[in-house]
Structure 1
Amino acid sequence: MKTLVAFSFLLVTYFLYGFYLNQFDTSIVPHQISTAHSSNYYDYKGVLNVHTDLSSGSATPNFVITSAKLAGLDFLIFTDLNLFNMPTSFESYHGNLLVMSAGKYSYLDSRLLYYSLTQESIGDTLGEAQVKLADLLSQKTGANKDSLTVLAHPYKAGFTWSGEIPTGLDGFELWNLKSLSNRAWDYSKASTIWSLLIYPFNPRLSFLRLYTEPTDEIALLDKLSQQRKVVVYAGAEASARAIPLANYFIKFPSYKRSFEIMSNHVLLKSELTGSFNGDRAKIFNALKQGNFYMAMDILGDPKGFVATIEDEKQTYLMGSEFKLKKGMVLKVKLPAVPKEYFEIVIFKDGVDVGRVNQPETEFPITSPGVYRVQVRVTAMLPIPDAKKWFTWIYTNPFYITP
């Protein structure tokens, strides 16, 4: 009898606490029915590193496409693992969603994402793919204009890249959803289990409280960017197969939920037109050049954010390489004033050179270097957690030469 009473008490307490958590809003900016683009650029949101049941995922490509639409994505890049016959029929517009078919391939102890704008074959076997990738990686930075090669989760347990980063690699994942989850588990198994328990009441909070800064990846970015241009990406690592033995019955976390957590926001000077070939090239080139920022979307819709460097005659997007000119200014604008304390942090060559608690700022550029922007916000999490800092936005670097 006592056991039943104790169990009933714990169950009632759990649900009451769950209702309390259900009231918590993770967004740090006001909700809007529709969000405008920034004044001079068009902001398009998309994800990469996505798996279907053609490889290691739990759902069909059509199901994943529907989930991406429900999540409000503008583009989606399939990257099924070691798949050499991905149906090209999915490469098209599906409503307002632009879908591209890339691949994710085993290479040494790591995984590489590969996409060819000309749809050049990576090979028919893993051996052929590894030979092709080895050739691409041995090239000089930016030598291959028609392909994109990205190192997935460089510090994920069991897949850590060893040795120097090849010059032919376009970049690597700064954020990877599965890597963040694995680190949370290693840091505190109890906290991770608690997040799983509260997931039914507030999925966004469940993920948010597991967040840790990608310090190793940031260190790698700051090191590599002093040597050459490198682009960083956010990888969804979406497969909806986090629960063992129930992968095809319980899609957890759902594709839609994974797509809503973090994404890449491409900035274009002209809007997408609905013409697949032309729009695909625009998205590809922006991802290749680094003309985008990464956002933790569960903290709020960042659409309208922009960071540019300007002189008297020209404006440069993040990812651009250019020479130092007199009167250059780095301009940063947030889409709205966050509800909690925030700061725009400006880095030069990996060193913090400016912090501003204003939604708009201008920072004079007086010397060459590698500049990037990070937007940090605070959030007061429900009991038993407390106030915590989160990075909302990471930009790709600006490369300024003498």
Structure 2
Amino acid sequence: MSRVRTAVAKGLRAVLGLMLLLLGIAGIFALPASFASYPVVPSNEGAPRWVRGAYHVHTTRSDGRGSPGEVARAAREAGLDFVVLTDHNDFKPPAPAWVDGVLLVPGVEISTSSGHLAAFGMERPLEGVRQWMPPGDAVKAVAAAGGTAVLAHPVQQRNPWKDDASAREAPGFELYSADTFFRQAVSNPVRRLLPAVGAYLGNPGHGVMLLATPEPEPGARFLELSRERPRIAFCAHDAHGLPSYEAVFESMAMYLLPEQVPSPLPKDASQAALLVTRALGSGRALCAFRALGEPAGFALEGMDPERREARVGDVLQVRVPGSPEEGTVRVEVWGDGRLRPDGRSVELTGEGVVQVEVWARAPGRFFGTEWRPWIVPSPVRVLPRGPGI
């Protein structure tokens, strides 16, 4: 018996020692995090305010930590106008409602046999939808109800989208996912998770931003699918309450263009929700990691803005908002385009698709800096050069 007690005591001391070591390592990152300064790009005075909100949020109606009311309060504190709630398999969500000045928009995340499908904007009831249904049937059901289907965390190791045929039918794609960022950090605890946890202790917003380290796989898959038909890029909060709703809401948001949605939103919740969901489903909304700066004033010019199309040989102009200091902002280009030496013009080099994003030099671990995505619009389809053009 004494040997058992001794072994247990040694085991407890080892676990306690490991926990203290990990807390000590995390604490190393807490102090410099308190000096991290946001936003990176100050907004221009008098710039119009765009309607902004959170997409893909979970509450106590599924596996979230906060009630819808608590989520609304967190969104209000973070300065958001709307939240798209997507509780798991919540096939009869409440109607749109204003709660504490925030519009709660109903949606759902459907668990199919090949992955998770987020959906919103349904104008009619979802017919025949159930858990673990075939993925293609789920995509068709959302379309039949007048909604927008989005592949949720489609390249995530834990819950990827595994059916190629239905992936090619869903219009939406979560290009960046806060939950995926967190799971990537968990798989790399020393290099990514501990710095983020430590920074979170000293500066919650900075801790969340340290998690925002994109991997190449989602972008490559997104471009592949976008070559076949127009796609909509989403930044998904996939918020469950840990990290806190408010910290995640302060880190990024989906923004709606003022020509599509007025600010403030209409007082009628159903009318406001219709405007929000149509704008999100149009492909003209954009994502911004708002901790880095507000995107109001951003523009991608030189294309058909409604269809998001241009032709081979055209040149897109990137208008960067705010007053960035030299060397703090850069344009990133993937697909069938190349950035010209001026750093703001994108020449379309071939038929297909081009993804243009604005990245910013953000506070990193300790006192360094790291490049992170800032403004993320949906891609532009590049059509062949027509005769006589």
Using the size of structure 1 for normalisation, the TM-score is 0.78
Distance 2:24 2:62 in 1: 42
- Of residues 348, 354, 374 in structure 1, which corresponds to 2:357? 374
Quick one: distance in 1 between partners of 2:54 and 2:199?
A: 26
Distance change in 2, residues 1:211/1:143 (3 Å): closer
How many angstroms apart in 1 are the aligned matches of 2:42 and 2:158? 40
In structure 2, how many angstroms separate the alpha carbons of the residues matched to 1:12 and 1:169?
A: 46
Deviation at 1:50, TM superposition (A): 0.6
Compute the displacement of 1:381 (Å).
3.2
Separation in structure 1 between the aligned mates of residue 349 and residue 29 of structure 2, nearest angstrom: 53
Counterpart CA distance in 1 for 2:60 and 2:118 is 18
Q: What percent of counterpart residues are identical?
A: 23
Deviation at 1:332, TM superposition (A): 2.1
- Note the aligned Cα RMSD (angstroms): 3.4
* 125, 134, 137: which one aligns with 1:135: 137
Give the match for residue 229 of structure 2. 228
- Tell me how far apart the structure 1 counterparts of residues 164 and 25 of structure 2 sit (CA, whole Å): 53
Distance 1:15 1:108 in 2: 42
Q: C-alpha offsets along residues 128-147 of structure 1, whole Å, 9 cap, x if unaligned? A: xx36x6335369xx975821
Kindly provide the amino acid, as one letter, of the partner of residue 307 in structure 2: S
CA displacement at 1:325 relative to structure 2: 9.9
Structure 1 residue 396 corresponds to structure 2 residue 382: no
2:72 aligned with 1:65, yes or no? Answer: yes
TM superposition shift of 1:86: 2.1
Equivalence for 1:36: 47
**Alpha-carbon deviation of 1:99?**
1.9
More divergent stretch after superposition (342-351 vs 189-198): 342-351
Partner SS, residue 198 of structure 2: helix
Contact 2:315 2:346 in 1 (8 A): yes
**Higher fraction of strand:** 1
CA distance in 1 between partners of 2:100 and 2:47 (Å)? 20
Could you say if the C-alpha distance between residues 344 and 370 of structure 1 is closer, same or farther in structure 2, counting changes exceeding 3 Å?
farther
The 1:369–1:23 alpha-carbon spacing in structure 2 relative to 1, beyond 3 Å, is same
Instruction: Give 1:4's aligned residue.
Output: none
Distance across 2 between alignment mates of 1:201 and 1:344:
28
How far 1:24 moved relative to its partner? 2.1
**Distance change in 2, residues 1:373/1:137 (3 Å):** same
Going from structure 1 to structure 2, the CA distance change for 1:95 and 1:103 (only over 3 Å counts) comes to same
Task: Provide Cα deviations, 1:105-148, integer angstroms capped at 9, x if missing partner.
Answer: 11114111122431413547436xx36x6335369xx9758211
Tell whether the 8 Å contact from 1:291 to 1:396 is kept in structure 2 after alignment: yes
Residue ranges of structure 1 left out of the alignment (5+ in a row): 1-10, 241-251, 311-315
User: Quick check: 1:47–1:259 contact (8 Å CA) kept in 2?
Assistant: yes
Quote the residue 2:10 is aligned against.
Answer: none
Q: Of 48, 52, 59, which aligns to 2:55?
A: 48
Structure 2 residue 106 is matched with structure 1 residue 101: yes
Name the amino acid aligned to 1:134. Answer: G
Counterpart of 1:255? 245
Partner of 1:112, secondary structure, is strand
Q: CA deviation at 1:231?
A: 1.2
| Residue in 2 that maps onto 1:269 | 259
Look up the match of 2:15.
none
